[in-house]
Amino acid sequence: MSVPASAAKPNGHLRLLRVLGPAHVWGLGVGIVLVGEFMGWNFSVAKGGALGSLIACWVVGLLYTCVAMIDSEVTSTVAAAGGQYAQSKHIVGPLMAFNVGLYLFMAYTMLLASDALVVGDLLKTVADRAGAPGLDPRPFVFLTIAVFAFLNYRGVLVTLRLNLIITAIACGSIVMMFFATRSWSSGALLHGELIHGLPYGWMGAIGALHFGIWYYLGIEGTCQSAEEVRSPPRSLPLGTMAGMITLLIAATMTWYVCTGLLPWEYLGAAVVPLFDAASVSGSAALQIALFVGTLFAALASANGCINDASRAWFSMGRDRYLPEWFAAVHPRYRTPYRAILLVVPIAAAFGFTGLLDQVVTFSILSGLLGYTVMPINMVLFRRKWPLDSIKRGYVHPGHPIPALVLLILCGLTYFSIYLGYGRQLLVMLGFYVLASLWFVSHRYRYVRRGAQFTMPWPRPRGY
């Protein structure tokens, strides 16, 4: 098969194809995150009650709005696979880039394991209620990971077209639930309990920030498609910001419906809260719609996570931060197929544990570490390359306020995680410290510093 001119570099190496538009970017970002509206977010109710969960929803929404704004500016300018990894590589340096790449890979791989767990638990729940208890969810966990790894292996365009369709259907089920229950007017809803305020005080509200992240975790994954988008300056900001608006609306609607139909004590421990809320409504059609919505949301997220985790690993292999063997591009499908295959056993191993809250926490913490780096990247980016020095696809307003707000909210969320999962926090930080030591002592000598700076920019201001 001949290689198109647009698919090869001058040195003869294959490259990823630019075939995606804004709708694909939206489908990738929202598809990864939307499962958080169907599960996981409700653990914040156990921490801070219904009102504490709402506070977490909006405070963390502000955090992710800052993330989306910063990402839209930097990635529309640094249009390379790896997203935040590529940003750190160009703006800060190798050690920062290695850590960010590892944060991304772990965040998406753990999120993939969580998605597969949700699929297995959902099918087990349906089997139990249908009078066939004892269904083993583990085969469905592996099948979910394997099937979508195969789809990603075969090509990004078909993969993300599928993501766009099933994500739209999952979004529609939330809207259907909201209007079918007439949440804005029904006196049968339980929102009167909000009068009681915060059952565990403001510390409970802070603790709720931990799982409030699940409403939005992964929207930054839109940046991973930067090298496969036809027009990065247009598609990345438009897809990312439209995705963030979608998630803010969906998160608020989800919270409103679930806290109105389910007691907060039950909601805080539910595995599939939206499906449970549909069951309480008494409508068989609504139960079917929310079963399909929950299943599709988990599948869309799994699909997008494989895409993003593999791009982060592929990018590090291409720059020799990891063995270059992982940087192989399939000669026919133009996908980073070795990086895709690597994701399967790691995600399956964590999925087989069945510990949803632990796997969710590992994903959240890895993502949070990446967000903490972003304000540093943004400040250095504006300082080294001011607005008049290079052309940007998007310029976010109010700099440096979004960066400072993001840094403060990240610090508050670290404290929130420490309150409930202090040991896990220390273990994960220890893992990343050891990984950094390994990179400095064993891998750094393979990195070609001159070859990894690929943007046609002028010399940084002050150098």
Q: What local confidence, expressed as pLDDT, does residue 55 receive?
A: 93
Q: 17-444, which class in CATH?
A: mainly alpha
As a whole number of Å, the CA-based R_g of the chain is 21
Torsion from C-alpha of 6, 10, 12, 16, nearest 10 degrees: -40
Give, in order, the Cα–Cα distances in Å from 209 to each of 40, 49, 63, 76, 456. 12, 12, 11, 29, 40
Tokens matching residue 184: 């804005």
Instruction: Taking residues 94-122, report their average pLDDT.
Output: 93
pLDDT single digits (tens) 173-194: 999 998 888 766 655 566 655 6
Average pLDDT over residues 129-133: 83
Question: What mean pLDDT comes out for the span 74-102?
Answer: 87
E strand spans, 235-326 = none
Share of the chain above pLDDT 70, in %: 94
Q: What is the pLDDT of residue 187?
A: 56
Mean pLDDT along residues 285-308: 92
Alpha-carbon dihedral sign for residues 445, 14, 151, 67: positive
Examine the pLDDT at 197 and tell me if it is beyond 90.
no
For residue 7, the model assigns a pLDDT of 43
Name the token pair of 238: 């438009």
- pLDDT of 232 over the 90 cut: no
**3-state SS class at 229:** strand
Q: Supply the pLDDT for residue 353.
A: 87
Confidence of residue 421 (pLDDT cuts 50, 70, 90): confident
Lowest mean pLDDT, pick from 138-142, 151-155, 448-452: 448-452
Compute the average pLDDT of residues 58-85. Answer: 88
CA–CA gap between residue 136 and residue 121 (Å, rounded): 9
Q: What angle do CA 438, 442, 443 make, to 5 degrees?
A: 95
The predicted pLDDT at position 8 comes to 42
3-state secondary structure of 319: coil
Task: Determine the pLDDT at residue 189.
Answer: 62
What gap in Å lies between CA 383 and CA 462, rounded to an integer? 9
Question: Once rounded to an integer, what is the mean pLDDT over residues 213-232?
Answer: 85
Exposure pattern of 255-293 as b/e (b: 16+ CB <10 Å)? Answer: bbbbbbbbebeebbebbbbbbbbbbbbeeeebbebbbbb
pLDDT of the residue at 12: 41
* Angstrom distance (rounded) from CA 344 to CA 145: 6
The mean pLDDT value of the chain amounts to 87
Rounded CA gap, 430 and 426, in Å?
Answer: 6
DSSP of 325-355: GGG---TTT-S-HHHHHHHHHHHHHHHTT--
Closest by Cα among 130, 11, 37, 44 to 361: 44
246 vs 181, residue with greater confidence: 246
- In eight-state DSSP terms, residue 20 is B
Distance of CA 451 to the CA centre of its chain: 29
Residues 403-421 as b or e (16 or more Cβ within 10 Å = b): bebbbebbeebbebbebbb
What's the rounded Cα separation, in Å, for the pair 307 and 148? 9
Q: Peptide bond preceding 345: is omega within 30 degrees of 0, i.e. cis?
A: no
Half-sphere exposure of 284 (CA within 13 A, CB side): 0
pTM: 0.88
pLDDT in tens, 10-48: 334 567 778 888 888 898 889 888 988 998 899 999 999
Average pLDDT over residues 258-280: 87
C-alpha to C-alpha distance for 31 and 164, rounded to whole angstroms: 7
Supply the DSSP string of 376-420, one letter for each residue.
HHHHHHHHHS-TTTS--S---TTTTHHHHHHHHHHHHHHHHHHHH
